[in-house]
Amino acid sequence: MQRNSKSTAAALKRGPIVLVGMMGVGKSTVGRRLAARLGLAFVDADEEIEKAAGMTVSEIFERFGEAHFRDGERRVIARLMDGAPKVIATGGGAFMQADTRAVILEQATAVWLDADIDILVDRVSRREGRPLLKNKDPRVVLTELAAVRNPVYALAPIHVKSIAAPHEVAVERILEQLPAWQ
């Protein structure tokens, strides 16, 4: 589906589009593709945190703990909320923080990328370096996290289910819902 600049501009009145959801759902991959389709910049919040801290997310968790990481994450996401249209992929826990969630809901268009646990388990098993999964059963952790996080993610005005299909399918689903939300 080709989009014209008028509908894209209408969809982006509220500044950034922020992707939220569980680890492994595809926020970074979908975000890059969505940004390319809309002709916007893409920013991965975790990459920005790593640049600011001079260490990886895993290293921050190990050395300073999750609370320290979340504080840095909050500051980075607040900085990214500058009103400029862009696509931002957040870490899975970012939207769980009340201050971060409030900034996103107030200053951006939040999109919840959702997926079934089986899909998430398959995707996270392909990549190392997820601090919340270190030395744990991914299925158990993801199931527990989803039970707590999904009701909060549901506060995002746009909800897109990611399925076992190319990420372009999720991009199309987001594009279909952006104009309807405005």
The bridge status of strand 41-44 relative to strand 109-114 is: unpaired
Which structure tokens are listed for 130? 């997820």
Query: Is 27 assigned to a binding site?
Result: yes
Q: What is the pLDDT of residue 1?
A: 37
Tokens of 137: 């059963």
74 is in an annotated binding site: no
Rounded distance between C-alpha atoms, residue 55 and residue 107, angstroms: 28
pLDDT in tens, the chain (182 residues): 334 444 444 444 558 999 999 988 999 999 999 999 999 999 999 999 999 889 988 899 889 988 888 898 999 999 999 989 999 999 999 999 999 999 999 999 999 999 999 998 888 876 666 666 676 788 898 899 999 999 999 999 999 998 878 889 999 999 999 865 54
**pLDDT score of 130:** 66
Residue 56 known to bind ligand: no
Is 31 a known ligand-binding residue?
Answer: no
51 marked among binding-site residues:
no
Domains annotated on the chain, with CATH: 16-174 (3.40.50.300)
pLDDT reported for residue 180 = 55
The pLDDT assigned to 10 comes to 45
The predicted structure's pLDDT at residue 134: 72
Q: Is 29 annotated as a binding residue?
A: yes
Is residue 24 annotated as involved in ligand binding?
yes
Half-sphere exposure of 123 (CA within 13 A, CB side): 22
Confidence at residue 121, expressed as pLDDT on a 0 to 100 scale: 85
